Structure 1
Amino acid sequence: MIVVTAPTGDTGRQVVQKLLQSGAPIRVIARDPSHLTEEVRDSVEVVQGSHGDPGIVNEAFSGADAVFWLVPPDPKAVSVKAAYVDFTRPAAAALMEQSVKRVVAITALGRGSPLADKAGFVSGSLATDDLIAGTGVAFRGLANPSFMDNIARQASAIRDLDKFFMPISGDLKLPCVATRDIAAVAARWLLDDNWTDQGEVPVLGPEDISFNDMAAIISDVLGKVVTYQQISFDAYKARFIQFGFSDAMAQGMSDMAWAKANGLDLAVSRMPENATPTGFRQWCEDTLKPAINT
């Protein structure tokens, strides 16, 4: 039995689809099962509730061989630690109580970097990995750079203003990855029952690319001029406050961007085993262009 958390989000939804193709038995934890597709509801076992709830995770992890762990967004959390580590504590206890064999988690690049403890959401994610690994469970942290899919969150600005915004230099080339590729890597590890150790798996995408490079590709794909505008870190934080984030979580976003601007994601070299296939142009054709046109 494989348990999938956050099965209605961008990554979790695609993990479920990959696992369904394998025929493996799947159980999902969903706050609102109506957000699952009918196909998924008919094909998996559903435990309704939050995977931050002790009773829910104990029920869901019972008899499980592997768990896909993804902390859900909590923009109003009182701190990054509360959103990541404190949310995961019930699951860590349940992993031990239910003798789960393997956990595959979504995490971030940056372990071992001097920036790692000043990197906002990245710091929270790495601390969560430590909590899970401390249970003794076999563990794989899929260590990701920024997601291409986050650019789609600025679809309205790209459509209406012909711009998108970040506080990072437009010329800095960084790795980025499509969530579809993260899901494929996660599914492979979840379906493999031949590992018993702990470690990280970088998932780096096919190339390093700057925001100015992205703007040129977006322009070409959409057939109009789209530019990238670098904004201040204060302005970046203020945008999240406007979106309803708590001050602590908005600061966590800003701190993460600051760390990436200072090279956090560049410490791991791309090799064939940690590169993934979806390039930014292909992602724009498949994901961004439809989002802009809706």
Structure 2
Amino acid sequence: MIVITTPTGQIGQQVLEHIVDSGKPIRVIARDPSRLPQRVRDRVEVFQGSHDDMDVVSKAFAGAESVLWLVPPNPQSGNSMEYYLNFTRPACQAIQSLGVKRVVGVSSLGRGFGRHAGILTAAFEMDALIESTGVSYRSLRMPYFMENMFHDLESIKSHGTFYMPMAGDQVLPLCATRDIASTAAALLLDESWSGQDSVPVVSPDSLTPNEMAHVLSEVLERPIHFQQVSIAEYKATLSRFGTEAWVKDYMDMVIAQNEGIYDDDVQKAQPSDTSFRTWCEEVFKPAVLAP
């Protein structure tokens, strides 16, 4: 039995697509089961609710061998550390009491950074909490998501510009969520592994924002420009969408990214399949051209 959390999220839904026809029994935990595609609902057992609920995870994890664990982002949360740990504690109790064998978690590169990194530090503490149960664990560790480009989709469509709070010549390690999903799916279907380890998921190319703009220009066949925004401007924008505590933790993550939190881990990682150019051609371009 495989349990998938966040089955309608950016990563969870792609994991489901990989495994739904595998023949393995699958359960999902979903706040709103109506958001699941009908073909998925026909093939999986659905537990309605949130996976931070002890009653929900106890029922869903009963008899489970493998679990995909992902704490969903929540800009309306308070302190990220408390949010991540409070969300994960019920699952850890259920993992121990119900004898779950393997957990695949979605975390981040940079665990050895040594300084506070906001939301990323909370993810590292989530890893440590799950590891403390003794369950066999694989922490999937990623850098900057290519899908973050969708935040600037309308600006790219209308003005040919995207924005980041970093210098145009600073190298940024990247990954595509489809590579995270395929890696997670392979681990969930594999019953042979044990112990605790991390699995970096990093694209073959680390690019600067200026280089990303060059790739986008070639793929979209029109000029695309990068514009740096200041930390203060970026913080002001975020403040429209989340609590003060969440904004602080998000900004601490951005500062850590600018200080190279991913760099040491990237040098040791085997590259995943999807380059930024391939992702732009196959994922982003169709979205830009869509009405």
Query: For the residues of structure 2 that align with 1:168 and 1:57, how far apart are their CA atoms?
Result: 40
Helix, strand or coil at the partner of 1:172 = coil
Aligned to 2:196: 198
Q: How does 1:89-108 map to 2 (within 5 A)?
A: 89-108=89-108
Q: 2:155 — aligned with what? A: 157
Q: Which amino acid aligns with 2:272?
A: T
1:189 maps onto 2:219 in alignment: no
* Counterpart residue identity of residue 267, structure 1: D
1:144-201 C-alpha deviation (Å, 9 max, x unpaired): 0111111112211211222111111211122211000110111111111112201111
CA distance in 1, matches of 2:224, 2:242: 27
Name the SS for the 2:96 alignment partner.
helix
Matched, 1:261 2:258: yes
- Secondary structure of residue in 2 paired with 1:29: strand
Letter of the structure 1 residue corresponding to residue 124 of structure 2 = L
1:1-294 pair list within 5 angstroms: 1-115=1-115, 118-242=116-240, 244-270=241-267, 274-294=270-290
**Identity over aligned residues, as a percent?**
44
Q: Number of aligned pairs? A: 290
User: SS of the residue aligned with 1:264?
Assistant: coil
CA distance in structure 2 between the partners assigned to 1:39 and 1:250 by the alignment: 38
SS in 1 for 2:128: helix
CA distances 1:71-92 after superposition (whole Å, capped 9, x unpaired): 0111110111132111111111
Tell me the amino acid that sits aligned with residue 68 of structure 1.
L
Instruction: Output the CA distance in 2 between the equivalents of 1:269 and 1:166.
Output: 21
Question: TM-score when scaled to structure 1?
Answer: 0.95
Given residue 166 of structure 1, which amino acid in structure 2 is its aligned partner?
A: M
1:74-127 Cα offsets, whole Å, 9 max, x none, are 111011113211111111111111110110000001111123xx1111111001
| Distance in 2 between residues matched to 1:229 and 1:60, nearest whole Å | 46
SS in 2 for 1:76: coil
TM-score (norm. length: structure 2): 0.96
Distance (Å, rounded) in 1 between the aligned partners of 2:266 and 2:5: 30
Q: Which amino acid aligns with 1:36?
A: L
Deviations 1:212-262 (A, max 9, x none): 1111111122222111111111211211112x2111111222111111111
**1:39-98 superposed Cα distances (whole Å, 9 cap, x missing partner):** 100111111100011110111100000000010111110111132111111111111111
Stretches of structure 1 that go unaligned for 5 or more consecutive residues are none
Tell me by how many angstroms 1:290 deviates.
2.1
CA contact (8 A) 1:238 1:250 kept: no
Structure 1 counterpart of 2:151, one-letter code: R
8 Å Cα contact 1:204/1:270 also seen in 2: no
- 1-side partners of 2:255 and 2:95: how far apart? 34
Alpha-carbon separation, structure 2, partners of 1:29 and 1:9 = 11
